[in-house]
Structure 1
C-alpha cells in the first residue's frame, strides 16, 4: 500500500493571530508555509482528520453544518501548555467550538476528532516546549497581541501537504 502525501482539515480561521503563527511556521517548517493568500495558518481545528478526498455531497454536508452554526465571538487571553508540550491559546468560551466539532463529527462519524487520540480541546497552536521555548518565552514573543477579541464567522477546508498547503473550500457560519 502506498501512502499518499497530504491531508484535509476543517478549521475556523483566526486572522488576528496569523502574523505570529505564520512566523512560527516560517521558523520551523518553511516548506509547509502556504503561498495561497486565503490559507490561514492560525486556526482552531474544527475536525481533523477529515475526509481525504471529499465529494460534492461531503462538501454540501459541511455547508449545511456551517449554515446551521451561528457566528460567535470569543477571546484568546493567555498562553498555556497542554500535557503534550504544545503551547496554545485556548478560546473563551470554548463551548461553541466544541459544539461545531461535535456537529461535524456527527455528520462524518468516520472522522473522529484527532482520530480519537485526544479529547476535544479547542485551541490555536502557537509553539512547542523545548530547551529554548517555554510558556514564558512564547508570552514574551507574542507580546501584546493577547488578549484579543475574535469572531468565528466561517469554516475553511484546508489541504496540508509540504509545498502545497491551500484552501479547498470555505463556508460562512450563518445560523440559518
Structure 2
C-alpha cells in the first residue's frame, strides 16, 4: 500500500475551501498536488500521523468510529495567525472535531495527534506568514469563501507523498463504511 517515503492522515475534507487550498499548494508545493479527483487539499486533520500501513482490522476500527460519529454542521469564519506564523481558520463549533480526534487517538494510542508536537486544535491551514502573506492578505484572497457553512459528513484516509498524494479509504460519518 505504501512506499515508506510518505505518511497517512485521517481527515475531514473541506470542499468549500478546496479552490483556495489547491491554489496555495500549487504556489508552495506544486509537486504535492494530487491527481486523484477524490483528494481534497483543504481539510481538518482528525489524526496525523496515522499508521503507515494500516491493516484490515485497523481500517475496520476507523470505520466503526466513523459509523458512531454523526455527521455535523460547522462554520469557518475567522482567519487567525498562530505564534508559529501559520494562518488558519478554526471550525465553529470545534467540539465535534475534538471528539473525533479523541476517539481515534483512544483507538490508536501509538498515534498521538501531530506526534505530540502540537496541540490538537481543529483547523484548516490556509497559509504561512511571510513578507507578502498576512492575515489581511489571506482574508482578501479568500474573498467570498468565508464565512463557509460546511458539513462534516465523511472521514478520509489520505496518503501524502511527493508526486503521489491520494485517497486510500473513505467512510461516511454516522453510516456504513463506503
Q: Normalising TM by the smaller chain, what interval?
A: over 0.9
Aligned to 1:150: 150
Q: Distance in 2 between matches of 1:119 and 1:78?
A: 19
* RMSD between superposed Cα atoms in Å: 1.2
In the alignment, is the contact (CA less than 8 A) between 2:4 and 2:52 conserved in 1? no
In the alignment, is the contact (CA less than 8 A) between 1:156 and 1:171 conserved in 2? yes
User: Map of 1:43-122 to 2, 5 A cutoff?
Assistant: 43-122=43-122
In the alignment, is the contact (CA less than 8 A) between 2:87 and 2:128 conserved in 1? yes
In the alignment, is the contact (CA less than 8 A) between 2:11 and 2:45 conserved in 1? yes
- Does 2:37 align with 1:42? no
* 1:59 CA drift (Å): 0.4
Q: Distance in 2 between matches of 1:34 and 1:12?
A: 16
Structure 1 residues without counterparts, runs of 5 or longer: none
Structure 2 residues without counterparts, runs of 5 or longer: none
Q: Distance in 1 between matches of 2:94 and 2:82?
A: 15
In the alignment, is the contact (CA less than 8 A) between 1:156 and 1:169 conserved in 2? yes
Q: Distance in 1 between matches of 2:111 and 2:19?
A: 30
TM-score (norm. length: structure 1):
0.97
Q: Distance in 1 between matches of 2:147 and 2:91?
A: 10
Q: Distance in 2 between matches of 1:168 and 1:108?
A: 18
In the alignment, is the contact (CA less than 8 A) between 1:79 and 1:89 conserved in 2? yes
Q: Distance in 1 between matches of 2:54 and 2:8?
A: 9
Q: Distance in 1 between matches of 2:5 and 2:119?
A: 26
In the alignment, is the contact (CA less than 8 A) between 1:7 and 1:52 conserved in 2? yes
**Can you list the C-alpha shifts for 1:42-63, whole angstroms capped at 9, x where unaligned?**
0000000000000000100000
TM-score (norm. length: structure 2):
0.95
Displaced runs of 4 or more, over 4 A: none
Q: Distance in 2 between matches of 1:47 and 1:85?
A: 22
Q: Aligned to 1:8, what secondary structure does the other structure show? A: strand
* 1:4 CA drift (Å): 3.1
Aligned length: 174
